[in-house]
Every structure is written in C-alpha cells, then in structure tokens.
Amino acid sequence: MSPDAADKVRENRVRRAAERQGLQLEKSRRRDPRAIDYGRYWLRQDDEIVYGDSRTGATLDEVEQYLTRDPHPDHN
C-alpha cells in the first residue's frame, strides 16, 4: 500500500471514530503547503469546534489521541 493510500485509510478510520462519538472530522481545504493550517484537522459538533485550535487545527495524530482518550480517567 502506498503511503498516500495508507494515510487515507487512517484518516477514514479516524473519521469513523469521530462519527461514533457524535463528531465530524474536518480537514483543512488549503492547498498551499506554506499555509499555517495546511494538512490540519478539526473536530466539530453542531458547527462548533470541539477540538483543534480554531486557527491552526490539529494533526491527525493529535485528533486520534483525543478520540481514544479515557473519558473517565478517575474511574479505575
């Protein structure tokens, strides 16, 4: 599998994880690699950003970490 195909598969997996949590994964539409938000992501719920800096977004790694975090860290 090519690196681009592997990245797309991973992005789709993260997108599905977001949807299971009632969120939408949004990717920056910038096409200029020098842009501050090029290749960055946001998680939205009801048109509001719930994760990712409103200006610079987050990496796919950061979004994946957010989605797989323990929602109840004090319950062991």
pLDDT at 64: 97
The alpha carbon of 35 is separated from its chain's Cα centroid by a whole number of angstroms, namely: 18
Amino acid at 76: N
Tell me the pairing of strands 24-27 and 48-51: unpaired
pLDDT in tens, the chain (76 residues): 887 899 999 999 999 999 999 999 999 999 999 999 999 999 999 999 999 999 999 999 999 999 999 877 776 5
Q: Count other C-beta atoms under 10 Å from residue 26's C-beta.
A: 17
Give residue limits of the domains in the chain. Answer: 3-67
pTM score: 0.86
Short-list 28, 24, 34, CA closest to 53: 28
- What does the angle CA 44 – CA 58 – CA 49 come to, to the nearest 5 degrees? 20
